[in-house]
Copies of this chain bind each other. A is one copy, B any other.
Amino acid sequence: MTATERTRVVVVGAGFAGLNVVASLRGAPVDVTLVDQRNYHTFQPLLYQVATAALDAGDVAHQVRDVLRTNLNARFVLGRVVGIDLDARHVALADGDQLPYDHLVVAPGAVYHDFGIPGVREHAYVLKSAAEALALRAHVLKRFEEAARDPDAVDAGLLNVVIVGAGPTGVEMAGALVELFEHGMRSDFPELDVGRARVILLEALDTVMPPYTEATRAYVGKVLRARGVDVRLGAVVEEVTEDRVRLKDGSEIAYGTLVWAAGVRAHPLAEALGVELGRSGRVPVADDLSLPERPGVWIAGDLAGPVGAPPLDGGEGAYPQVAQVAIQQGKHVAYGIRAHLAGHPSRPFRYADRGQMAIVGRSAGVAELSPAWGGFRFTGLLGWLAWLFVHLIYLPGHQNRLRAFLGWAWEWVTYDRHARLILEPIDRDLDRAGPPPPRGTLGA
C-alpha cells in the first residue's frame, strides 16, 4: 500500500457528516485523512443535558480514533484547518502544515450566530461544545452559590436564566433547567427560595418549536408553562448587557445566565471556498453535494445549502441543520467519491426525512414521524421513550450508551441530576502553592 499512488481524501470535521463520510469509505481504494480540532466527536443533541447536570461531558464525547479503529484506510489528524487552497489542492492547518488532497470533504459544521445583536457574543452561552456546556453548567451553579451568600441578589435577577430561541434546543434546555431547579437546587440550597429562580424562554416568532405541527407546538407550550417556564412569544432581542436583555418593545429582563439558542451560521471556513454564500453563510452546492466547477470538492452537513437548482425546499432549498441530514449527506458524499473512482456519474442527494423529535422534560417528549414513516405523532411518555431510544442508538461508544442510559434511569427514579459540579479549568496555584501567603492575619 503506497500512499502516493492511492486517491487521497481529506475530510474536514469529525461531526455527524465527517464521521459518516469516513465510515462509508471503509474498504474503498483511497487514503482518508480526517482532521478535526478536537480528538473526539461531540454528540451535540445531548449537550444541554451536560449543561443541566444530568450527564457528564465524557458521556457525550467519543474519541475519533476509536471510531477509526476498524477503518484501515483512514487516519486522524488533530489540527485546526485555517485555509483551503482549491487550486493547489491542499488544506492549511494552523500549525503551518498542509494536507494535500484529491477529494476534499468540507464538513466543519455550524457556529454561533448572534445576528449582529450587541452584547450577545460577550455574555451568552451557546450549546455547541462539551467545554462550553461545562462552562454553562458551572456558571448556573455559581450563580446559586453567590445567591446563597447574598440572598438580596435574587431580587436583582441573579438566578434568572434567559434562553433566547424556542426551537428544540431552547425548549429542551428550558425544560431541563426547571427540573434542575425544582429537584436539584431546591434540596441543595435550603437557605434560598429557589421558587424565585426563573427560566424565561424568549422567541421572536409567535410560536414555540416552529418546524413542528400545530398540535405539537400547543402541547409543548402547555407543558413548558405548566412546569414553570416563562414562555414569551414575539419577543425580539435588541441588545444585551452584562445583566439585562433589552427587547424591541423597550422592556428589559434581568438575568444571571443567558443562553443563546436562536440560531447558528455556517462555519467561517466556508469563506475559503471562494463562492457566494447563501443565507447564514451556507455554501450553495450541486445536487450531488459537490462544489460547482470544483471537481473533487464536496460539502456536507450544516455547511451545505441550498442543494441543487431549483431549490428543493421552498424558497431556500436548504435542509435543516440537524444530525439526520448530516449523516445522510456524509454517506452520500462517500457514495459520490466511490462513483467518481469507478467512473460512474454521481447521483443527486435526496433527504429521507424520518421525522423529528424533542424532549420537553421528564416523561414528556414529542416525536413526529414523516409521512413516509407512517406520519405518526407521539407526545408525552411515548414521545419521551422514543426520544431516549433513538438518542441511545445514535450516541457513539458502548460505554457512553451505558452511562447515558444509567444516568437517565437514575434521574427518572430519583429526580437526581447527579453532575452538579463546578468543574473549572486547572488553576495550578490552587494545588501547587496554595493561596498567597496570608498577610496581616498571622495569628496573635
Q: Chain A: residues with CB nearer than 8 A to chain B?
A: 37-40, 56-59, 61, 63, 65-66, 69, 75-87, 92, 94, 97, 108, 111-112, 121, 126, 128-132, 134-135, 141-142, 145, 148-149, 187-189, 191, 267-269, 271-275, 294, 397, 399-400, 402-403, 406-407, 410, 416, 418-428, 430-444
Contacts of A425 in B (CB 8 A): 131, 135, 424-426
**Is the beta-carbon distance between A148 and B188 smaller than 8 angstroms?**
no
Residues of B within 8 A of A273 (CB): 443
* CB atoms of B58 and A421 under 8 A apart: yes
Contact B416 A399 (CB under 8 A): yes
Given contacts A69-B187, A268-B433, A399-B416, 19 further A-B contacts (CB under 8 A): A37-B430, A39-B422, A69-B188, A78-B142, A78-B145, A78-B148, A81-B435, A83-B441, A111-B434, A121-B432, A126-B431, A126-B432, A128-B431, A268-B437, A269-B434, A269-B435, A272-B438, A274-B442, A399-B407
Q: Using Cβ atoms and an 8 Å threshold, which residues of chain B touch A422? A: 38-40, 78
- Contact assessment for A65 and B268 in the assembled complex, using a CB-CB cutoff below 8 Å: no
Q: Which 10 A-B pairs have the closest CB atoms?
A: A274-B443, A83-B441, A425-B425, A83-B438, A268-B434, A86-B443, A56-B58, A112-B432, A65-B188, A78-B145
Identity of the chain B residue whose Cβ is nearest the Cβ of A402 in the assembled complex: B406
Contacts A38-B422, A187-B69, A423-B57 given; indicate if A441 touches B129 (C-beta within 8 A): no
**Are A141 and B188 within 8 A (Cβ)?**
no
Chain B residues lying within 8 Å of A403, measured Cβ to Cβ, are 403, 406
Give which listed residue, B58, B128, B419, B442, contacts A272 with CB less than 8 A: B442
A56 to B419 Cα, complex, angstroms: 11
A61 in contact with B418 (CB, 8 Å): no
Most chain B beta-carbon neighbours within 10 Å: one of A94, A141, A430: A430
- How many Å lie between the Cα of A130 and that of B422 in the bound state? 11
Known: A39-B422, A65-B189, A434-B269. A443 touches B131 (CB 8 A): no
A80 to B189, CA, bound (A): 19
CB contacts (< 8 Å) of A142 on chain B: these are: 78
**A431 lies within 8 A of B274 (CB):** no
- Whether A443 pairs with B126 at a CB distance below 8 angstroms is no
Min CB distance, A441 to chain B, in Å? Answer: 3
